[in-house]
Structure 1
Amino acid sequence: MRIGLITPEPGHPLLAAATALLTPRHRVETVDPGAWDGAPEDPDSFGTPADVYLLKARTPRALGLARYLEERGAPVLNASGATGLCQDRTAMAEPALRAGLPFARTQTVPALARLIGEELAYPVVIKSRHSRRHDLVARVDDDAGLRALCAVWSDEPVVVQPFTENSGWDHKLWVIAGRVFAAVRRSELADPDRGPALPLAPGDLPDGWARLALRVGSVFGLQVYGVDVIDAGGGVPLIVDINAFPGVRGQVGAPEALAELAVRTAERGAVPAG
């Protein structure tokens, strides 16, 4: 089988470990989405698509490349549409709430500065609408804090969510092909120097949280994804973010699960249901 990696970082620990498992029997190829300039006039100039692609990138170019490959019949994990949905926190909230998932209530504002003078029920959490590296995620406790944030991010499209009191620890739930992995990590709202994620056995999660993570995949059509959950009190989960194809670092069995998913998808010639 030919397995393609859509990523600028094929040396990422999860991808590198999965590649090492695959290469004895399969050919693994990297496609850097940074070089993608759009669909070529001659489709054959791209070459024959691989049997499956792993989409470990979220840039507009990466999503465009993934859509092109899907149009040519190649399975992509995760699909470009599902990946793009997780990049827009407004679009993410709508299907989550519609499906009855315990997702944070979300208000969208076209520019942070528009909140000046508005009646806000402090404290609130303000995030960039479009998820990306080094985006805005901050707790704001009063008007002074909002004005200070506007000094840097005034034009940023944002979402506003109520702040929910919690332990200050995020539960990181990762799913690869229906297998749940877990860790805990200090919330960046509680500790900017939050340190690494600490592995957690799925059996040590509060009751029902692993099933909740699996349901997210069904709602969003994802096969490799992460769900950030906080304990809203008494083991009640609140989903604060969903990520397509996260790093899943330091999780025993994660590279094996990813390699097996890639091979199964290539053999079927189609992406399995989320």
Structure 2
Amino acid sequence: MRVGLITPEPGHPLLAAATALLEPEHTVEVLDPAAPDGAPTRPADVYLLKSRTERALRLARELEARGAAVVNSAAATARCQDRTLMAELALAAGLPFAATRTHDSLAAWASGAALASPVVVKSRSSRRGDLVARVDDDGGLRQLAQAWPHEPVVVQEFAPNSGWDHKLWAIGDQVFCALRRSELSPEGRGPTRSLPLDELPVGWADLVRETGAVFALEVYGVDIIDLGDGKPLIVDVNAFPGIRGQAGAPEALAALALRRATGRTGRTRRTRATR
């Protein structure tokens, strides 16, 4: 089999480990989305899309048009970059997702806002180096607006929690999990601690798989905070995250790539995304 990697970083630990598992019997080819060559005339049997740049999405769409299997699809990857669309899809599907309001620019909204309680402000476009901040009062909001005046944003009510995010990842139907101190906590973003799957609250692993089905994702992350007594609130969904340091993740990714290369789906349940 020929497995392609659409990424500028083939040495990423997850990709490198999966490549080492595949290469004794299969060919692994790297497509750098920044390279000028474009899509090959003879596509590989499957591609793993670990990049969210516009050039990477354009390359993935071109490969899909030629009949190649791409994990995750360009459409599914793009859905996770628009936090307004993310919230609309999740809430329409009945997922416990944070209620979300959208504003075309932070400065325009801040000029007339009066905060009654803390909120979380995020860039509408999910990307490296984007805006994610807790704002407690009008003064803090004005200060943030001065730094990001033209940024389109989404706003969510701050949900009191322990200060630790549950980082859950899935490759096909296999779920991995860890705890990470939230970047919104007073201490700032902290270390990641692996968490045994059987220590998750009841139903959370199935909730992750359901989220993947809603977004038509096969390799993805779901960030959840515990509102108390195991009540989950989803605050973010990511296409093809790093999944670093999770035992069994490279093996799961290599196996998924081979299943998709032979035309088999990477999940047992039907995908539901329609937009």
Shorter-chain TM range is over 0.9
Tell me how far 1:36 sits from its aligned partner. Answer: 5.0
Selected match of 1:110 from 99, 104, 112? 104
| TM-aligned CA deviation for residue 79 of structure 1 | 0.5
Which residue number corresponds to residue 25 of structure 2? 25
CA distance in 2, matches of 1:85, 1:170: 22
1:181 CA displacement: 0.2
Identity of aligned residues (%): 65
Q: For the structure 1 residues 174 and 270, does the alpha-carbon distance in structure 2 shift closer, same or farther, using more than 3 Å as the test?
A: closer
CA contact (8 A) 1:36 1:61 kept: no
119-128 or 106-115, which moves further after superposition? 119-128
1:181 and 1:233, CA in 2 relative to 1: closer, same or farther beyond 3 A? same
Are 1:74 and 2:71 counterparts?
no
CA 1:160–1:85 in 2, change beyond 3 Å: closer, same or farther?
A: same
- Is contact 1:125-1:140 (8 Å) kept? yes
Residues 185-213 of structure 1 deviation map (CA, whole Å, 9 limit, x = unaligned): 00000056423311001110011111100
Deviation digits for residues 186-245 of structure 1, max 9, x if unmatched?
A: 000005642331100111001111110010011010000000000012110000000000
- Over 3 Å counting, the alpha-carbon distance change for 1:205 and 1:271 in structure 2 is closer
Q: Where in structure 2 are there 5+ consecutive unaligned residues?
A: none
Q: Distance in 1 between matches of 2:31 and 2:104?
A: 34
Is 1:216 matched up with 2:199?
no
Q: Give the partner amino acid of 2:27.
A: R
TM-score, length of structure 1 as denominator length: 0.94
1:151: Cα distance to partner?
A: 1.5
Secondary structure, counterpart of 2:144 in structure 1: helix
Give the corresponding residue for 1:3.
Answer: 3
SS in structure 2 of the partner of residue 240 of structure 1 = strand
Q: Secondary structure of 2:89's partner?
A: helix
Any unmatched runs of 5+ in structure 1? Answer: 40-45
Q: CA RMSD in A?
A: 1.5
- Residues 75 and 271, structure 1, Cα contact 8 Å, conserved in 2: no
Contact 2:113–2:138 (8 Å) recurs in 1: no
Instruction: Find the counterpart in structure 1 of residue 42 from structure 2.
Output: 48
Partner in structure 2 of residue 232 of structure 1: 227
Give 1:93 deviation, angstroms.
0.5
Distance in 2 between residues matched to 1:122 and 1:32, nearest whole Å: 45
- Asked if the contact 1:5–1:29 (Cα under 8 Å) also holds between the matched residues in 2, the reply is yes
- Structure 1 contact 36–62 (Cα < 8 Å) conserved: no
- Report what 1:42 is aligned to: none
TM-score, normalisation: structure 2: 0.94
